[in-house]
Structure 1
Amino acid sequence: MSQFAYQPGEAVAESDNLGLKAEAAIIIDGKTGQIVYEKNADKVLGIASMSKMMTEYIIMESIKNGKISWDQKVKINKYVHDLSKAPNLSNVGLTEGEDYTVKELYQAMAVYSGNAATVALAQLVSGSEKNFVKLMNEKAKKLGLKNHRFVNASGLNNTDLLGEYPTGKADDENVMTAKDTALLAYRLINDYPEVLKIASISKLKFRDGKEYPNFNWMLPGLIFEYKGVDGLKTGSTDYAGYGHTGTVIQNGQRYITVVMKSTNKNERFADSTKLMNYAYSTFKKEKILPAKYQVKGKETLSVVKGKEKSVKIESEKAIELLVENGGKDNYKTDLVIDKNKLNEDGKLTAPIKKGEKLGYITITPKKGEDYGYINGNQTKVNVVAAETVEKANWFVLSMRAVGGFFGDVWSSVASTVKGWF
């Protein structure tokens, strides 16, 4: 195990003092999107080659929809060839006029952050990089990203694109927040989990006979190796600094971490290591509410026109949360009944089917900060009817009405008689 892999019992700083050098950071649950830590997560910053996660998403979607295929050939034009030879840029060399498969170009993009390979894929999908950038911004909105701007497919500064930048100004770059970057990574690995098979390649053997190491140095066999890391993307420019989006899984628990605007390569991985150590040493998935949970004192709801006068209600399923060690009891429940299900007297009207949704229970911490979810979800569970209440027949309803009438009469008489004394 690398010196950077988390070991049980290892001392980890408190969440408000992790000692991060990065300007912004976030940790989320890779399965649910629950946020467990953030630092300046809503600050808009340069993202550099972490932009390629959006290109990866669109490529995966295009393959799924049958628009392109992994083995489809892409002929390299002069601009892509020249860009692949540009000095000081991350690239796998691409030969003008030669055909490369979508899979080869995707691997070059995802593993070695090949900028020219990214442009070639963008041109394939949309006809031009300019059209593709428009698609990137549209897709960002559909995915729920709130603070973003894409001006090119690769994440380079436009000045590096040999005078052929697709949109924006000459010195523009792509920008996002740490929260949006985490959301993009979350959607990418959950909608297309197969991306991790490529993102986890530590060293790429390309057709030119060369071996290209992954820039994610936390992968197995690389300098900052960390147990369970299998993705996802790095990025760096003068404007953006150094960033890293990491995906890691240990004992079935996956986290996504993001650091943005570190000052050097090593620092971004040191900060990612701190985030992963903090996540695994501080949080544990706990069942906060069991399935079929009933709120004390609110186990039933009144019913009118039913064979029974009430119905039992319960939670539809259990609620699990990542909670700080020893913090399982630091949560309170609030029951919310759907007002549209109730009559003017606040009662349900039969018939009611078992399993019918009647409202929900929310879970909030009694103390401490609740960061919420990357996808905007709330910690809540549906409340449903635990049994069926059939509608009473006309005779029963009539007898109840008659009984109610005479009951009202008797109450009135009793009150009057009582007044005599």
Structure 2
Amino acid sequence: MKNGGIWKKGTLVVLVVLLLLVPQQLLADHSKIEAAAAVLIDAQTGEILWETEGDRVLPASGIAQLMTEWLVLDAVRSGRINWEDSVRIGGEPRNDTVQLSNFYDGKGNSGIPLRSEDQIPLNELFMGLTVSSSKEAEAALARYAGSSEASFAWMMNDKARRIGMSPSTLFKPVTAGPVRDLDETSADQPLSGSRMTAKDAAALCRALIEAHPEILRMSSVAQTEISSRSIYLTNNNAMLPEFAGPHAYRGLDGLKVCGSEQDGYSFAGTAQRDGKRLIVVIMGAQSREKSFQSAGRLLDYGYARSGSIVERAASWMKLV
């Protein structure tokens, strides 16, 4: 019995050491995180648990939408605007058509056909932005909450400096043209629209959740109705558990999926398990699927390193 007890204690010690040390070794090969930059942080403390190229300045027009969401939520909370307000899609009346992103009608057509003069409830536009990263909704909300896209961009940059984001991060108006990369080695390569580092993106996510925790409920709905157009938008975040697909991740409840073939695909997400919330940012992946895969791997690493014993064991097994 005595030898058996010693053996059990020895086995427990070995297991604890493995749970503490092996995850770091499993992620030592950065090539398994297929992205231009990636960061994993503890949402409670802000501690960086893992990063690669965290200070690299990259195109971030999609992730910048999180700041748009923040300022709109601020304006609603202050009473300056209301969810029931009717928002004009375009500025001056025009006879053109724009598209609200990520709607599929089953016939090969995507987008919601909207006239510039259309009036859409603010809450529906906000959900269109939050769930499907609609640039049209983003532009309309910026004009409504900030009088113009230019003044709204100033508000975003002011907020960024006040929460401690680095000078490298810059928010541009939605319809702005290219800006130059700050990296002199690639000065001839334009960055379209807003730019950001992965570290700043993670900090933005953390600050937004702290200021407006309701954003998690909004960004994690599987589908939202645009009743004024009698259609539904499906969330483009395949990591939500509700979708039960190959990328679904237990505990994940937001925030933003975005990107393009030109700028790369990005993902800013957060998950909570056993009271432990982590935030992961993937920027510049070659495909949306690879951004999901890298995000899932980093979250597994985070829970293998700092979750409960049960979570550590389960996450460690997924990393092996």
Pick the TM interval, shorter chain.
Answer: 0.7 to 0.9
Rounded to whole Å, the distance in 1 between the matches of 2:50 and 2:127 is: 31
> What is residue 62 of structure 2 aligned with on the other side?
49
CA distance in 1, matches of 2:112, 2:41: 32
Aligned pairs for 1:237-248 within 5 A: 237-248=260-271
Structure 2 match to 1:103: 123
Question: Out of 91, 98, 102, which is 1:83 matched to?
Answer: 98
Find the residue that maps to 1:33 and give its secondary structure: coil
Distance in 2, Cα, partners of 1:80 & 1:129 = 21
Of 143, 150, 160, which residue of structure 2 is paired with 1:130? Answer: 150
Matched residue, 1:219: 240
Summarize the Cα distance change of 1:285–1:80 in structure 2 as closer, same or farther, 3 Å threshold: farther
More helix by share: 2
Alpha-carbon RMSD: 2.9
Counterpart of 2:291, as a letter, is R
Q: Would you say 1:149 and 2:170 are equivalent positions?
A: yes
Question: What's the counterpart of residue 29 of structure 2?
Answer: 17
Deviations 1:41-96 (A, max 9, x none): 01111113111001011111111222111112213334696332799998544344
Q: Return closer, same or farther for 1:251/1:266 CA change in 2, 3 Å cut-off.
A: same
Residue aligning to 2:79: 66
Report the identity percentage.
28
Mapped to 2, the partners of 1:80 and 1:206 lie a distance apart of 22
Q: For this pair of structures, how many residues does the alignment match?
A: 267
Q: For the structure 1 residues 135 and 242, does the alpha-carbon distance in structure 2 shift closer, same or farther, using more than 3 Å as the test?
A: same
Contact persistence 2:201–2:281 (CA under 8 A): yes
Aligned residue number for residue 206 of structure 1: 226
Matches within 5 A, 1:119-198: 119-146=139-166, 147-153=168-174, 158=177, 172-198=192-218
Cα deviation, residue 240, structure 1: 2.4
- Listed as ranges, the gaps of 5+ residues in structure 1 are 1-8, 160-169, 287-323, 326-421
d(CA) in 2 for partners of 1:80, 1:276: 47
Deviations along 1:193-233, whole A, 9 cap, x unmatched?
Answer: 01111100112222233332211110123332110110000
| Distance (Å, rounded) in 2 between the aligned partners of 1:87 and 1:279 | 31
**CA distance 1:149–1:239, shift in 2 (3 Å):** farther
Give distance in 1, aligned partners of 2:251 and 2:216.
12
Structure 1's consecutive aligned runs of 4 or more residues displaced over 4 angstroms after TM superposition are 78-81, 85-92
Among 271, 290, 294, the residue aligned to 2:294: 271
1:114 Cα deviation after fit: 1.1
TM-score by length of 2: 0.75
- Name the TM-score, length of structure 1 as normaliser: 0.58
- What SS does structure 2 have at the residue aligned with 1:94? strand
Q: What residue ranges of structure 2 are gaps of 5+ in the alignment?
A: 1-18, 104-108, 179-189, 314-320
Counterpart of 1:275 in 2: which secondary structure?
Answer: helix
Alignment of structure 1 residues 354-393 onto 2, 5 Å: none
